Structure formats: structure tokens, C-alpha cells
Homo-oligomer: A and B are copies of this chain.
Amino acid sequence: PLSSSFGGGCSRRLKPAVVVVRAEAQPINPEIRKAEEKVVDTVLVPELSKPLTAYCRCWRSGTFPLCDGSHVKHNKATGDNVGPLLVKKQ
């Protein structure tokens, strides 16, 4: 049983207030192309220059839609496990 008198002057036992905070569903893209209603990108396979290209799925890349490795920092900060999509030409 908690004794609350931190308000000052009240010696009566008060029930502590319980505040329940529920997280709402959150956006996963904090800032990429927010003027667009939906961010969709297209990879044209014949135009791929390298045998392997990594595409971002963490929405934190500075070179989006390409992966720049920013998923590593995001995973460390949040305990997440996201990574890129690799497109392999052959």
C-alpha cells in the first residue's frame, strides 16, 4: 500500500493514478518522398549496370531506393531485423 502525501497537506492514503499508454500503429517511413501518396519504384532489369544491386526496405537509406547500409543502424537502435532486397542479374 502506497502512502501518498507528495501533494502536500494531505495525509489520507490515495490510490495511485494508473495511466495506460498504448502505442498506435506507426508509419515506417519517417521522411522519404512524403509529398508522394505512395512511394513505388521500378527496377528495369535491362538497365541494371552491376551484377548485384541492393534495394532498401528499411526506409532509412540516404540513397533510396538503393540500400546504403543504414538498416544496420536502424536494427541496432530498435532491435529490428530488416535488410535489403538483392537483385542479381545472373
Contact = CB atoms under 8 A, between A and B. Distances in A.
17 contacts: A7-B7, A7-B10, A7-B15, A17-B17, A25-B74, A25-B77, A26-B78, A28-B74, A33-B81, A37-B81, A38-B82, A39-B83, A41-B86, A42-B86, A43-B87, A55-B85, A56-B57
Contacts of A34: 81
Interface size, A (range): 35 or more
Interface string A2-44: 0010011110101101010101111111000110111111111
Report how many copies the assembly holds: 2
A88 to B, nearest CB: 5
Interface of A: 4, 7-10, 12, 14-15, 17, 19, 21, 23-29, 33-34, 36-46, 48, 55-59, 65, 71, 74-75, 77-90
